[in-house]
């Protein structure tokens, strides 16, 4: 996304010297993002006293990074699709029972996941470390969930991380907690239905969110 924004800016600025500081700022934004996310990228160019040289180096770096990011995203999509199809046909060939969401359940789970992402990003209570952990688990879980799947291990990873955060901040984190609980009820009901289990204790009790 950052590379896309830079591409639009560069098309307007046309590498003119009067936009030098804007190019340097763009590189600063990118470097801040890389440091905050511990991203693995090629070495960021150094800034010199030569304006034309700086602009050319920054533009070349963003072009290189955009190409690398597109390649990575294309590969990630292919691997995810390959893994999903492998699981789908493994279940078919093995005649294995799969966890199956209704269209409504599946849509709601992804809506809740998207809402959670926004709430976690904007939360002033959750620390940056907890945010990174939650968002990493959330992304992994959402990437794993399909209408039909026989593996939802990453859901439990997200649920465990969310439970710790919810227990830590309690009622102050209610908008996040409500969505985690709703999403968890949907997924757990699908799991229980497959296993033929009638019910488990309320999730809020399992998380020790309610006192009796």
Please tell me whether residues 61 and 12 are part of one structural domain: yes
DSSP H or E run through 112: helix 103-122
For residue 137, being part of any structural domain is answered with yes
Distance CA 109, CA 100 (A): 13
Across all residues in the chain, what is the average pLDDT? 85
Is residue 208 pLDDT above 50, yes or no?
no
Range of the domain at 51: 2-73
Q: Are residues 131 and 53 in the same domain?
A: no
Vertex 40 angle, CA 39 and 46, to 5°: 95
Number of domains making up the chain: 2
pTM of the predicted model, to two decimals? Answer: 0.50
Tell me: pLDDT of 171 over 70. no
**Same-domain pairing of 101 and 22:** no
Same domain, 101 and 181: yes
- Helix/strand number for the chain, H first, E second: 8, 2
Q: Are residues 65 and 161 in the same domain?
A: no
Which are the contacts of 39, defined by CB distance < 8 A and separation ≥ 6?
33
Same domain, 61 and 10: yes
Q: Tell me: do 123 and 185 sit in the same domain.
A: yes
Model pLDDT for residues 34-50, shown as the tens digit of each residue = 999 888 899 999 999 99
């Amino acid at each position: 996304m950052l590379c896309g924004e830079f591409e639009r800016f560069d098309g307007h600025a046309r590498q003119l010297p009067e936009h030098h500081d804007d190019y340097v700022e763009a590189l600063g934004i990118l470097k801040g993002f890389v440091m905050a996310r511990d991203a693995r990228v090629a070495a960021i160019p150094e800034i010199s006293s030569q304006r034309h040289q700086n602009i050319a180096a920054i533009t070349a770096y963003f072009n290189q990074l955009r190409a690398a990011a597109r390649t990575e995203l294309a590969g990630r999509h292919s691997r995810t699709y390959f893994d999903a199809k492998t699981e789908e046909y493994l279940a078919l060939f093995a005649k294995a029972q799969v966890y199956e969401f209704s269209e409504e359940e599946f849509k709601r789970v992804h809506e809740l996941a998207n809402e959670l992402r926004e709430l976690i990003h904007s939360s002033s209570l959750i620390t940056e470390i907890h945010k990174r952990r939650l968002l990493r688990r959330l992304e992994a879980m959402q990437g794993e969930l399909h209408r039909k799947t026989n593996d939802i291990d990453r859901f439990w990873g997200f649920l465990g991380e969310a439970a710790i955060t919810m227990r830590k901040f309690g009622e102050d984190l209610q908008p996040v907690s409500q969505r985690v609980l709703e999403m968890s009820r949907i997924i757990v009901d699908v799991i229980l239905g497959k296993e033929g289990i009638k019910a488990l204790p309320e999730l809020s009790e399992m998380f020790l969110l309610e006192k009796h």
